[in-house]
């Protein structure tokens, strides 16, 4: 396994070893001594770390998180990162996301559409990392549209959901097509399927060209 970022540790909680961060619980995850289990079965980024992908995360980064939903993963990110901008379009999960942000002064929820970065460009500063977990058709387009925020030496950490692009196509064909689109502006450093944690998902680590 590649090195974990500062602020993320492997800990035995409730008798089970796994990733953990320090912070208030968000989604009913088990806690111990201020540490909270980071459930990789509920977090694509957690799965990337569990699988040993070289995310480049060291801790303290400024992060733009696209597709924050109710805050399951982005709350863990805000536990170890620097300023963390959490973009979520659906109104339903925003309340949970706001609750997660109450105890995290580095987490900034934005009720915005990740496909329209011009609507939050006045708020988001240049970032070291873009984490993309947007389950929508055109996942490569989202990463390309938000490239403007990413530092030249930054990282894109994307979870590509095959079924969001095409429910009938072979997932590997979908992954190849998305990666090919990304390569117009990103250099792909690593790609790996996220099984057994997430079926038909591909983890991608890339940097701007």
Contact call for residues 185 and 147 (beta carbons, < 8 A): yes
DSSP state of 191: E
Cα distances (Å, whole numbers) of residue 55 to 88, 123, 176: 22, 25, 20
List residues forming the annotated binding site. Answer: 72-73, 88-89, 113-114, 133-136
Which residues does the annotation place in the binding site for S-adenosyl-L-methionine? 72-73, 88-89, 113-114, 133-136
Question: 10 Å Cβ neighbour count for 176?
Answer: 13
Torsion of CA 189, 195, 199, 204, to 10 degrees: -10
Helices 72-80, 91-102: inter-axial angle, 10-degree rounding: 30
């Amino acid at each position: 396994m590649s090195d974990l970022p500062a602020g993320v540790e492997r800990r035995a909680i409730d008798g089970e070893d796994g990733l953990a961060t320090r912070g208030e619980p968000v989604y009913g995850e088990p806690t111990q001594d201020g540490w909270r289990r980071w459930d990789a079965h509920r977090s694509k980024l957690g799965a990337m770390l569990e699988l040993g992908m070289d995310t480049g995360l060291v801790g303290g980064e400024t992060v733009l998180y696209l597709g924050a939903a109710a805050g399951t993963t982005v709350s863990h990110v805000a536990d170890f990162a620097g300023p963390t901008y959490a973009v979520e379009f659906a109104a339903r999960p925003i309340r949970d996301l706001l609750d997660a942000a109450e105890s995290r002064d580095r987490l900034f929820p934005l009720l915005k559409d990740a496909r329209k970065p011009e609507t939050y460009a006045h708020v988001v500063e240049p970032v070291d990392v873009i984490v993309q977990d947007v389950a929508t058709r055109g996942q490569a387009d989202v990463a390309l549209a938000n490239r403007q925020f990413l530092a030249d030496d930054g990282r894109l950490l994307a979870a590509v959901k095959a079924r969001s692009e095409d429910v009938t196509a072979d997932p590997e064909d979908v992954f190849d097509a998305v990666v090919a689109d990304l390569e117009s502006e990103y250099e792909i450093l690593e790609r790996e399927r996220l099984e057994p944690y997430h079926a038909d998902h591909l983890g991608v680590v890339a940097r701007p060209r």
